[in-house]
Structure 1
Amino acid sequence: MSVPREPSTTKLWLLKELEDDSRATDLAPGELAGLRAVAHWIKTFIVNPHDDLGRSGPVCPFVPRSLDRDLLSLAPEQVGERNLAEVVEVLQGYQRLFTSAQPTDGDDATYKSIVVVFTDLAEERAAGFFGDVLEQLAMPSYAADGFVMGGFHESSPGTAIYNPGFRPFTSPVPFLLMRHAVVDDWKFFLDDEEWLAQWARRHQDSGAHALAEELRRLPWRTRPDRATPPEEV
């Protein structure tokens, strides 16, 4: 049984660093291929618009800003013979690394993120793996420390907010994303009462203002069963 080790900043790679063959010799061949596959997917898909997204702008508006600031890092990990408790311990180490890494405050800190790439995780295991890991970590980490975590893999069933027929979480190599919570996350939580309650506790007044701003753009006062609004309101 392997013993989890505390991750260090030497395991974190910016996308542009993976293009440097002289530096990439520090990685095992399987690790390098996995990181480069995810980096290519981010650069060619995630940061670009898509006709099926249901809105304008890149697939993830967060990522281009993170890349511009050199605040999105990739890290290789292997599942191997690790059990669930060991994997959770490894990811908690990345959470501690994330928390201590610069920047720790200000606007730039909002765009800090770590992508932990599981370079030896077979696709047929990915759904169950992420389900187990996130059941242990996702909500406690969000409630206590404001981490948002999500699993990405080739057959991920997750859909876009504005188009349920579009699946933007289908990465070529399985990975787990961790980033800071932001007020706009309510869009991901709206259909889950427990998560929405956690979001409301975290953001309080700023959350109420964000929802109000969104509602002002929508015809929410109009009842769908009436041609004109009722007079007795």
Structure 2
Amino acid sequence: MLVHPTRPVHPLVEPADFAADRLPDAVAAHEDALRVVHRWAWEYLCEPHADLGRRGDVCPYTGTSLQKNLFFLTVHPGKPTDPAELAELLRHYREWFPELEPTGGAGAQFKTILVLFPDLVGPADFAVVDRTQELLKVEYAAEGLMLGEFHPGPPDKAGLWNPEFRPLVSPVALLGMRHMVPTDFPFVRGDDATLSVYLRLFGDRVPTYLRQDVRAAADRLATSGS
């Protein structure tokens, strides 16, 4: 478990912590929520799904993050009703994120923080999570971060390869942050602000299979003057 040395933020539970029979005392009150999300990450995100519409795991990124002990979970109890309140809670983790080891090198791209909100349990609560992600996504992208919304709703966003599939479903409402990576183009192509950040960060190292689509998106963005 990681505790920030100076800031009053909740501790980060590491994948290695789940090997113990009981989580550390500081987070024991939320053990059920933490364990169910940790299990969901392994059993859902790290596995193929018949409805996904492509081969491979639901999230190709998560398995490596877990294996490298860089998949951190934290819990905030309560029922925030305003996206601005959730945004403020997340601010601490956004500031802590770049300080977490490793701070550089290839391994740094696998750092992930999931902030769990176990008391947000109904449609109105889930809408707050969705609106918070929408409010913050461009701000986070400007710092090279992706912010994703997950909850039992499930979120309205359709899968990239199967529009009938809702891949962002999770057993506990949460918001997750990680580094933007070159393979994230399909997630940003429809939003000019986040697309601009992607092109700035990865324009010279786009995966081969994405180059044609990225070039077309860049040309469209240049033509539109965005």
Same fold (TM over 0.5): yes
C-alpha displacement at 1:22, in angstroms?
A: 3.7
The unaligned stretches of length 5 or more in structure 2 are 1-6, 215-226
SS at match of 2:190: coil
Aligned to 2:152: 154
Equivalenced residues, count: 207
Is contact 1:78–1:118 with CA below 8 Å preserved after alignment?
yes
Match status 1:26 vs 2:26: yes
Offset at 1:184?
1.2
Report the secondary structure of 1:177's partner residue: strand
1:152·1:176 contact (CA, 8 Å) conserved in 2? Answer: yes
Secondary structure of 2:87 counterpart:
helix
Q: Calculate the TM-score normalised by the size of structure 2.
A: 0.81
Listed as ranges, the matches of 1:57-72 within 5 Å are: 57-72=56-71
What is the root-mean-square deviation of aligned Cα atoms in Å? 2.4
Gaps of 5+ in 1: 216-233
TM-score with structure 1 length normalisation?
0.79
Q: Does the Cα contact within 8 Å between 1:48 and 1:59 map onto a contact in 2?
A: yes
Q: What's the counterpart of residue 117 of structure 2? A: 118
Aligned to 2:179: 180
| Residue of structure 2 equivalent to 1:211 | 210
Q: Which residue of 2 aligns with 1:14?
A: 14
Secondary structure at 1:54's aligned position in 2?
coil
Deviation (angstroms), 1:82: 7.2
Please tell me whether the aligned partners of residues 54 and 162 of structure 1 are also in contact (alpha carbons under 8 angstroms).
yes
One-letter amino acid matched to 2:204: D
Deviations 1:35-68 (A, max 9, x none): 1111121111110111221221111110011111
**Is 2:129–2:174's contact at 8 Å kept on the other side of the alignment?**
no
Map 1:97-116; keep pairs closer than 5 Å: 97-116=96-115
Residue 127 of structure 1 and its aligned partner are, at CA, apart by 3.2
Change (3 A) 1:115 1:181: same
Query: Which residue number in structure 1 is paired with residue 223 of structure 2?
Result: none
1:18 and 1:24 in contact (8 A); partners too? no
